[in-house]
Structure 1
């Protein structure tokens, strides 16, 4: 198992235990798209929408450069961003991402 995988599983464990701040500490050590997505989800669980958006956008930027616009994981990130903006009641912005 790589160090990145270890950090992921530690972060995941703390997320499952609802210890979001501790989870963020571990996810924040991995500079990859999946980690940014996990950080977005963790901030979503904390109700920190602006941080959630920040990490989803970082993840999206990486995925777009690696895979282009037509990959399903890119579509998922656009959808995640749309949902955040729905939660923030920013409906026009949500529509842009959906």
Structure 2
């Protein structure tokens, strides 16, 4: 419908392509999701300013697909591009920037580059502590990620410290029967 009513490069058509990509991603059809996300990105790059948040969103979505597929170098490329766009168009303490730092940390963790992952996770935690409520679940998730890194590095005392902080925060901000408390 949108394709019939709107010019071929209208941002709403790009939004529809993104939504279709989201569905394929949710269904685990990653190559099809990637196809739609890539079409969306091309269209957004044509019709939006280069530092528009929707372009960052498309770059992040493509990075997510490559991360899920285990194509870590490509995921890092897209996540890094996303972060650069976000740093231009969003306030310096915006939660989306923290999410991108977390995504990059996740990739380095998956690659076994724990020190680099720790660096990104730490930046993410610092930003989340600044821009989110002190008992926000994303802050707890950052603590968990850092704990996981220390566990992987066999620095168990540090891991235990972060896991304990994560648990305490989750017990405060989540219902008692929430599955994340057991994690």
TM-score, normalized by the shorter chain, greater than 0.5: yes
1:68 shift after superposition: 3.8
Other-structure match for 2:113: 48
Other-structure match for 1:69: 134
Once the two structures are superposed, residues 38-87 of structure 1 have per-residue CA deviations (whole angstroms, 9 ceiling, x without a partner) of 11111111111111111111111111000142111101110111111011
The one of 3, 7, 12 equivalent to 2:64 is 12
Ranges of 4+ aligned residues in structure 1 off by more than 3 Å: none
Other-structure match for 2:73: 21
RMSD: 1.3
Question: Unaligned stretches of 5+ in structure 2?
Answer: 1-14, 16-53, 88-96, 164-183
The within-5 A match list for 1:81-96 is 81-96=146-161
Q: Distance in 1 between matches of 2:60 and 2:146?
A: 22
Aligned residues: 98
Question: Unaligned stretches of 5+ in structure 1?
Answer: none
Give the TM-score normalised by structure 1: 0.92
Give the TM-score normalised by structure 2: 0.51
